[in-house]
Amino acid sequence: MTATQTIALDVMGGDHGAQVVLPGAELSLVRHPDTHYILFGDEAVIRKELALHRGLAGKCDIVHTDVAISMDAKPSQALRQGRWKSSMWKAIEAVRDGDAEAVISAGNTGALMAMSKFILKTLPEIKRPAIAAIWPTVQSECIVLDVGANVGADAGQLIDFSMMGAAMARALFSHDRPSVGLLNIGVEEIKGLEEVRKAAGALRESDPPFDFRGFVEGDDVGQGVVDVVVTEGFSGNIAIKTAEGTAKQIAEYLRAAMTRSLLARIGAVLAQGAFRALKEKMDPRLSNGGVFLGLNGIVIKSHGGTDATGFASAIDLGYDMARSGLVERLAVDIATFHAALNITKSAQ
Amino acid sequence: MTATQTIALDVMGGDHGAQVVLPGAELSLVRHPDTHYILFGDEAVIRKELALHRGLAGKCDIVHTDVAISMDAKPSQALRQGRWKSSMWKAIEAVRDGDAEAVISAGNTGALMAMSKFILKTLPEIKRPAIAAIWPTVQSECIVLDVGANVGADAGQLIDFSMMGAAMARALFSHDRPSVGLLNIGVEEIKGLEEVRKAAGALRESDPPFDFRGFVEGDDVGQGVVDVVVTEGFSGNIAIKTAEGTAKQIAEYLRAAMTRSLLARIGAVLAQGAFRALKEKMDPRLSNGGVFLGLNGIVIKSHGGTDATGFASAIDLGYDMARSGLVERLAVDIATFHAALNITKSAQ
The mean of the pLDDT values for chain B is 90
**ipTM of model:** 0.86
Q: Which of A159, A142, A145 is nearest to A207 (CA)?
A: A159
Task: Write down all domains in chain B, each with its CATH number in brackets.
Answer: 5-126+294-324 (3.40.718.10), 130-284 (3.40.718.10)
- Tell me which of A178-182, A254-258, B39-43, B299-303 is least confident: A254-258
| CB B95 within 8 Å of CB B121 | no
From the list A218, A223, A250, which residue is nearest B238 (CB)?
A218
Query: For residue B192, what pLDDT is reported?
Result: 64
Q: Say how far apart CA B213 and CA B222 lie, in whole Å.
A: 16
Strand partners, B130: B293
Nearest to B162 by CA among B114, B117, B215: B215
Across the interface, whether the CB atoms of A185 and B234 are under 8 A apart is answered yes
Query: Cβ separation of B238 and A241 shorter than 8 Å?
Result: no
**Above 60 in pLDDT, residue B299?**
yes
Contact state of B273 with A266 under an 8 Å Cβ cutoff: no
pLDDT at residue B347 greater than cutoff 50: no
Dist CA B190 CA A169 (whole Å): 33
The residue among A131, A185, A225, A276 with the most chain B CBs within 10 A of its CB, best to mutate, is A185
CB proximity B223 to A under 8 Å: yes
Q: How many C-alpha atoms does B139 have within 13 Å on its Cβ side? A: 12
User: CB of A71 within 8 Å of any CB in chain B?
Assistant: no
**pLDDT at position B345 over 70:** no
Query: Residue B149 pLDDT more than 60?
Result: yes
Lowest mean pLDDT among A329-343, B4-18, B66-80, B249-263: A329-343
Chain B interface test: which of A131, A191, A229, A246 (most B C-beta within 10 Å)? A246
| 3-class secondary structure per residue, A183-203 | ECCCCCCCCCCHHHHHHHHHH
Distance to chain B for A336, nearest Cα, Å: 32
Region A17-38: what's the mean pLDDT? 97
Per the DSSP assignment, residues forming a β-bridge with A143 are A134, A228
Per CB-CB distance under 8 Å, the chain B contacts of A252 are: 138
Task: Please tell me if residue A280 touches chain B, with a CB cutoff of 8 Å.
Answer: no
Q: Classify residue B194 by burial, with Cβ atoms within 10 Å: 0-12, 13-18, 19+.
A: exposed
Residue of A234, A261, A269, A272 to mutate, testing the B interface (most B Cβ within 10 Å of its Cβ): A234
The answer to whether residue B280 neighbours chain A at the CB level (below 8 Å) is no
Residue of A nearest to B147 (CA): A185
**Confidence check: pLDDT of B91 > 90:** yes
Residue B339 has pLDDT above 90, yes or no: no
Interface test mutation site (partner B, options A235, A259, A279, max chain B beta carbons within 10 A): A235
pLDDT tens digits along A115-124: 999 999 999 8
Instruction: Verify whether the Cβ–Cβ distance A273 to B263 is below 8 Å.
Output: yes
State yes or no: pLDDT of B208 exceeds 50: yes
pLDDT classification of A348: cutoffs 50, 70, 90: very low
CA distances from A161 to A193, B178, B307 (A): 16, 39, 39
Beta strand segments in chain B, E? 5-10, 35-41, 60-64, 102-105, 130-136, 141-145, 179-183, 211-216, 228-230, 290-293, 298-301
Across B127-151, average pLDDT: 91
Q: Is the pLDDT of residue A84 over 70?
A: yes
A270 min Cα distance to partner chain B (Å): 5
Q: Residues A79, A43: contact at Cβ < 8 Å?
A: no
Rounded Cα gap, residues B35 and B60, in angstroms: 9
Interchain CB contacts (distance < 8 Å): A and B: 205
Partner-chain contact A269 B266, CB within 8 Å: no
3-state SS track over A255-292: HHHHCCCHHHHHHHHHCHHHHHHHHHHCCHHHHCCEEE
Residue in A192, A222, A257 nearest the CB of B249 = A222
Task: Tell me: cis bond preceding B15? Omega within 30 of 0 counts.
Answer: no
Chain A residue nearest residue B195, CA to CA: A151
Q: How far is CA B52 from CA A27, B37, B55, B239, in A?
A: 65, 16, 9, 39
Closest CA of chain B from A312, distance in Å: 24
> Cis (ω within 30 of 0) for the bond into A146?
yes
Q: What pLDDT does residue B191 have?
A: 58
Spell out which residues of chain A touch residue B229, defining contact as CB-CB under 8 Å.
Answer: none
pLDDT for residue A139 is more than 90: no
Q: State the alpha helices, DSSP H only, in chain A.
A: 18-31, 43-50, 75-82, 87-96, 109-120, 155-173, 194-205, 218-221, 233-258, 262-270, 272-281, 308-323, 326-347
When pLDDT is cut at 50, 70 and 90, the band that residue B342 belongs to is low
Is the confidence at residue B346, as pLDDT, over 50? no
Buried b (16+ CB within 10 A) or exposed e, A189-224: eebbbebbbebbebbeebebbbbbbebbbbbbbbbb
- Name the residue in chain B with its Cα closest to that of A148: B185
pLDDT of residue A188: 52
Q: Which residues contact A314 (CB under 8 A, 6 or more apart)?
A: A24, A104, A106, A288, A289, A300, A301, A302, A303, A306
A187 touches chain B (CB under 8 A): no
Distance from the Cα of B191 to chain A's closest Cα (Å) equals: 9
Q: Which of A216, A270, A275, A283 to mutate to test the interface with B (most CBs of B within 10 A)?
A: A270
Q: Is B282 on the interface with A (CB under 8 A)?
A: yes
Pick from A70-74, A189-193, A261-265, B293-297: least confident: A189-193
- Give A296-308 pLDDT, tens digit per residue: 999 999 999 999 9
Q: Which residues of chain A make contact with B275, given a CB cutoff of 8 A?
A: 257
DSSP code per residue over B332-348: HHHHHHHHHHHHHHHH-
Any B CB within 8 A of A24 CB: no
Question: Which of the four pLDDT bands, split at 50, 70 and 90, describes residue A192?
Answer: low
Q: What is the mean pLDDT of chain A?
A: 90
Whole-angstrom distance, CA of residue A302 vs CA of residue B245? 25
The model's confidence at residue B326, banded by pLDDT at 50, 70 and 90, is: confident
Q: Is the four-CA dihedral A283, A287, A288, A290 of positive or negative sign? A: negative
> Is A273 in Cβ contact with B245 (below 8 Å)?
no
Question: Beta partners for A5?
Answer: A35
What pLDDT does B329 receive?
Answer: 85
Task: State how far residue B136 is from chain A, nearest Cα, in angstroms.
Answer: 10
Report the pLDDT value the prediction gives residue A173, as an integer from 0 to 100.
Answer: 87
B78 CB near a chain A CB, below 8 Å?
A: no
CA distance A197 to A313: 35
How would residue B1 be classed by pLDDT, with cut points 50, 70 and 90? very low
Rounded distance, CA B143 to CA B136, Å? 9
Phi (first) and psi of residue A144, to 5 degrees: -125, 130
pLDDT over 80 at B7, yes or no: yes
User: Which residue from B218, B257, B270 is facing A275, i.e. has the nearest CB?
Assistant: B257
Q: Which residue has the higher pLDDT, A195 or B9?
A: B9
Residue contact A260–B274, C-beta within 8 A: yes
Q: Are B245 and A219 within 8 A, CB to CB?
A: yes
Q: What percent of chain B lies above the pLDDT cut of 90? A: 63
Candidates A218, A223, A284; CA nearest to A248 is A284
Average of pLDDT values for B63-70?
Answer: 94
Q: Does A22 score more than 50 pLDDT? A: yes
Among B3-12, B104-113, B273-282, name the one with the lowest average pLDDT.
Answer: B273-282
Strands B130-136 and B141-145: what pairing? Answer: antiparallel
User: Considering only alpha carbons, which residue of chain A is nearest residue B76?
Assistant: A190
> Whole-angstrom Cα distance, residue A68 to residue A304?
14
Rounded mean pLDDT, B288-294: 94
Tell me whether residue A174 is exposed, middle or buried, using C-beta atoms within 10 angstroms of its C-beta: 0 to 12, 13 to 18, 19 or more: exposed
pLDDT at residue B45 tops 80: yes
Q: Measured between alpha carbons, how far is B341 from B337 in angstroms, rounded to an integer?
A: 6
Band of residue A284 on the pLDDT scale cut at 50, 70, 90: confident
pLDDT for A347 equals 40
Q: Is B271 within 8 Å of A248 when comparing Cβ atoms?
A: no
Residue from A190, A229, A241 whose CB has the most chain B CBs within 10 Å, to mutate: A241
* Contact call for B244 and A138, based on CB within 8 A: no
Among the ranges given (A60-69, B57-66, B187-196, B220-229), the one the predictor scored with the smallest mean pLDDT:
B187-196
